[in-house]
Chains A and B, each alone.
Chain A
Amino acid sequence: MNVAPKLSEKEYKKNFTEHVTPFNRDAAVAEANRCLYCYDSPCMDACPTHIDISEFIRKIATGNMKGSAKTILSANWVPLTCAKACPVEVLCEGACVFNDKQEKPIEIGRLQRHTMDWFYQEKPSLFTPASPNGKSIGVIGSGPAGLACAAEGVMLGFDVTIYESNDTPGGLDTWGIAPYKMSQADSLTEVEYIKSLGVKIQTGVTIGKDKTIAQLEEAHDTIFIGVGLPQGKNISLPGSDLKGVENAVDYIAKVKAEKYSQVDVGRKVAIIGCGNTAIDAATESVRLGAEEVYIIYRRGKEEMTAYWFEYELAQKDNVRFFWLTNPVRIEGEGHVQALVCEKMELVAGSAGERKKPQAVSGSEFSLPVDMVIKSVGQDLGDHFLSGVEKLEIANSRIKVNPETFQTDNPKYFAGGDCINGGKEVVNAAYDGKKAAQGIHAFLFPTTAE
């Protein structure tokens, strides 16, 4: 592969340093005091975990940091990750009433980070788990859904063990968030905190390989599935076996190891797809030293699934967008040398359907590239879950009761990307917490409402 020249450590550091800086105490208090302390706080509704935002912000203003942390953690077990990885522009901050006043919304994400940075620094004791209730939960996957279920489970008196196939826990919190948004250390800090509550984590254990479904069912009263969407969707593209073709999630995880000089990036890189993961792959390529980075998307800009602020970030990084462009094949001698594309046009679909892209005949062109990163979504893949009875999976989503997060097999509960097709960390955090409550209500029906 035509590998882009490596950068100096200083350049890597500059490129991958978190771009949102922390508040110092005075600035946090000033921002907290700007909050109106709305009686009906739309930010709280907009947060999938319904953190009492105006309350935790008021507590920053009064210097009640412990109370602020308690307000946050009572609703969300991975709040530092959420503070840094949440698309706040479309969630809490997007709902802030200041938007209606044509003023800058309260910087909720940064304030939450301020509280959580304090909390993980000071480590005051906040919660006491309920006395053991005699039941156990086995949690598959240590991403945000699994961590939230485990933490909430321990608080409810369960004996909880998380099984994680990777050697480093945290799932996408650890491996999937662009380093310039959050470092791996932050995710591991949250994992450590959850462990300190009494959650056991076994890393390097793959269910279906190192431990069978039967063993798991034997060991635990209930099982929570929080496996995310481990497999990159593959689009069949001739030339995909060439050296230099990668899957976006795997590529991002490689970068996330934070040993930047060890990650080879092509001089010219094409990303296929235009979701938020595609943007991460593109911006990270630029920051690793790629000279030209293209995003190839078969639909128009209006239809991209990436958030506008992610798109803007990529633009600032000089990523070039090819709208209405479809990849046809990858060409090269042993390694990628070009991506052949064709131009698309949108034609009316059948009634009620969105317009469909259709190839423009004779529009084929060849884009010289050294690397192709596929980012067209993730799916559940083919694995141990097929051995679980009565588990209904459709379109890469495990079917659950939306209130209790119980699957059709009553012993199994699930949450996070594997039930929603791929959303935010904060959604997974909510699912996991609610699932633990669902498990409790299921196993101890008399104590439930």
Chain B
Amino acid sequence: MVDLSINCGGIKSPNPFWLASAPPSNSAYQVCKAFEDGWGGAVWKTIGAPVMNVCNRYGGMDYAGTKIVGLNNVELISDRDFDLNLKEIAETKKRFPNHAVIVSLMMESQKEIWEDAVKRTIDTGCDGIELNYGCPHGMSERGMGSAVGQVPEYCEMITEWVTNVSTIPVLVKLTPNVTDILPPARAAKRANAHGISLINTINSIIGVDLDSLAIRPDVAGKGSHGGYAGPAVKPIALHMTSQVAADPQVNLPISGMGGVSNWRDAVEFMLLGASSVQVCTAVMHYGFRIVEDMKEGMATWMQEKGFKTCDEFIGKSVPRIAQFGDFDLLKKTVAKIDEDTCINCNLCYIACEDGAHQCIDRVEIKESTKLQPRVREEDCVGCDLCSLVCPVEGCISMVEVPRIKEGSITWPELVAKLPQPMTWEDLRAYQKQYGIEIH
């Protein structure tokens, strides 16, 4: 048996799956139901200043018949009374003492207001506080949410107000709507935060209605940017998670989120440094029940990989994060097409021909009108596009070509080796020694 329990910045939970601060964690009814279904923790939907919501507030991005590959919203923080939320949080924590209940806060940027809110929140018995510096719409126009997260100095100042009075762990939730995620993360660290949550939603316009020309979601003829989430944002979230995880100045536990829909996504976030993961869009799409597969899938994977605890694999892929300048320029692969499983759709051919390097030919097949794609290996640049478009699993593989000459070199090493300024002729001559030819 594997142990799924985690500790994220001092917040313990029986498994790494938390509801993100969002509509699914809006009430005691929902959070208790989620815990009964197996969720390990929940970040309560952000509570704070009075707000009023609009209709419609969500917009879905569908792709190729798949509903909601992305979801955006212009919903605000909780529109339920602050005190009512605190009461329900206390009741929930009492019912589920072993689950993680984290309260997301967003207050007006005044020290006294924050201190008061923090103290009253702690009184509920909750396990931690998450500071919402991420909300990219509505609240930011009122100087809260991402308006804080985008300015490291504000981020540091407010976090300090909170950590100075808090007796429980404080997570700082960052907005991805910045050019560099590290300055706000480092600011949180300087202010003694216990962990970083990321990413909040991304600024987005989900679409335009081609009949009415209205922006979606349509609020009485007007539209606005909203926060984008869901499966489509995962690569952006993974990148930012890895950046924070790899930064020695931040060096804080991470609660990762952004497009986590299943256990595979969760494992990826954890391999890149997250010690808990938060989920919203997938729950909004399918309900709390998805956690069963998340727990089971992760446990099975851990067993197969020989990990007994989550700590054994959290951050395991972080050391592999490198820069382009660290890459070995002499590694060469070529595509190989398995002609037995190939179904001759020739999607690889047209992708290579029009979209890449023109190194797949189509050859006639005996006694057939079909054409067989065949890689001209001497021209293949090893880009991998053909295998990505291939609809047959395992049909196209990228095979490493034995090096004709021992050696490896990175770009900085190459720059040091060749006369400067580098000429194309010098570079080509160098490549040729290693059998690398670009047509």
Please tell me which stretch of A36-44, A152-160, A373-381 contacts chain B, meaning at least 4 of its Cβ atoms lie within 8 angstroms of it. A36-44
Q: Complex formed: what's the CA distance from A301 to B65 in Å?
A: 43
Residue from B65, B66, B349, B392 within 8 A of A39 (CB atoms): B349
- Asked if B369 and A39 make an inter-chain contact with CB atoms under 8 angstroms apart, the answer reads no
- Chain B, Cβ-Cβ closest to A45: B369
B350 touches A39 (CB 8 A): yes
Q: How far is the CA of A98 from the CA of B344 in the complex (A)?
A: 10
Is A296 interfacial (CB 8 A cutoff)? no
Residues of A within 8 A of B391 (CB): 36, 97, 101
Contact B343 A97 (CB under 8 A): yes
Residues of A within 8 A of B346 (CB): 38-40
Contact of A253 with B by CB under 8 A: no
Check if B68 is an interface residue, CB within 8 A of chain A. Answer: no
Measured in the bound complex, the distance between the Cα atoms of B360 and A40 in whole Å is 14
Residues A30 and B65 in contact, CB atoms below 8 Å apart: yes
B232 contacts chain A at the CB level, 8 A cutoff: no
Taken residue by residue from 17 to 42, chain B's Cβ proximity to chain A (1 for < 8 Å, 0 otherwise) reads as 00000000000000000000000000
The answer to whether B392 and A101 have CB atoms under 8 Å apart is yes
Q: Counting CB contacts under 8 A, is A33 at the interface?
A: yes
Q: In the complex, are the beta carbons of B65 and A38 less than 8 A apart?
A: no
Enumerate chain B residues within 8 angstroms of A30, measured Cβ to Cβ. 65
CA distance A112 to B349 in the complex (A): 27
Taken together as a complex, chains A and B put the C-alpha atoms of A39 and B343 apart, in Å, by 12
User: How many residues belonging to A are interface residues under a CB distance threshold of 8 Å?
Assistant: 18
A61 contacts the other chain (Cβ, under 8 Å)?
A: yes
- Cα–Cα distance between A101 and B65 once the two chains are bound (Å): 21
Which chain A residues lie closer than 8 Å to B64 at the CB level?
A: 33, 61
A188 within 8 A of B: no
Bound complex: CA of A30 vs CA of B67, how far in Å? 10
| B347/A61 in contact, CB under 8 A | no
Interface secondary structure of B, over-half rule: loop
Question: What residues of chain B lie closer than 8 Å to A73, measured between beta carbons?
Answer: none
For A30, A61, A98, A100, which residue has the most chain B Cβ atoms within 10 angstroms? Answer: A100
Q: Which of A56-108 contact B (CB under 8 A)?
A: 61, 97-98, 100-101
B residues 62-103 touching A (CB-CB < 8 Å): 64-66
Asked if A36 contacts B65 (CB within 8 A), the reply is no
Within 8 A of B (CB), among A10-67: 29-30, 32-34, 36-42, 45, 61
A42:B350 contact, CB within 8 angstroms: no
Partner of B65, one of A33, A37, A41: A33
Interface residues of B in 337-351 (CB under 8 A from A): 343-347, 349-350
Contact B344 A42 (CB under 8 A): yes
A97 to B348, CA, bound (A): 14
The answer on a CB contact under 8 Å between A97 and B344 is yes
CB-CB under 8 A for A42 and B370, given A36-B347, A101-B343: yes
Question: Are A39 and B370 closer than 8 Å at their CB atoms?
Answer: no
Proximity bits, B388-425, A CB within 8 Å = 1, else 0: 00011000000000000000000000000000000000
Most buried by B among A30, A32, A39, A45: A39
Q: Are B347 and A38 in contact (CB under 8 A)?
A: yes
| Contact A36-B345, Cβ < 8 Å, known A29-B65, A101-B392 | yes
B214 contacts chain A at the CB level, 8 A cutoff: no
| Closest chain B CB from A380 CB (angstroms) | 32
- A28: nearest residue on chain B (CB-CB)? B65
Q: Which residues of B contact A42 (CB under 8 A)?
A: 344, 369-370
CB-defined contacts of B371 to chain A, threshold 8 Å = 40
CB proximity of A419 to chain B, nearest CB, Å: 23
Is B362 in the interface zone, CB < 8 Å from A?
yes
Residues of A within 8 A of B369 (CB): 42, 45
What is the bound-complex CA distance between A372 and B62, given in angstroms? 57
A61 adjacent to B65 (CB under 8 Å): yes
**Roughly how many angstroms separate A34 CA and B391 CA in the complex, as a whole number?**
11
How far apart are the CA atoms of A101 and B370 in the complex, in Å?
15
- How far, in Å, is B377 (CB) from chain A's closest CB? 21
In the complex, what residue of chain A is closest to B370 when comparing beta carbons?
A42
Q: What 10 pairs between A and B have smallest CB-CB spacing? A: A33-B65, A38-B345, A100-B343, A39-B350, A39-B346, A97-B343, A40-B346, A33-B64, A30-B65, A97-B345
Known pairs A42-B344, A97-B343 / 14 extra A-B pairs, C-beta < 8 Å: A34-B65, A36-B391, A38-B347, A39-B347, A40-B345, A40-B346, A40-B371, A45-B369, A61-B64, A61-B65, A97-B344, A97-B345, A100-B343, A101-B343
Residue contacts A-B, CB under 8 angstroms, 16 given: A32-B65, A33-B66, A36-B345, A38-B345, A38-B346, A39-B345, A39-B349, A39-B350, A40-B345, A40-B346, A40-B349, A42-B344, A42-B369, A42-B370, A97-B391, A100-B343
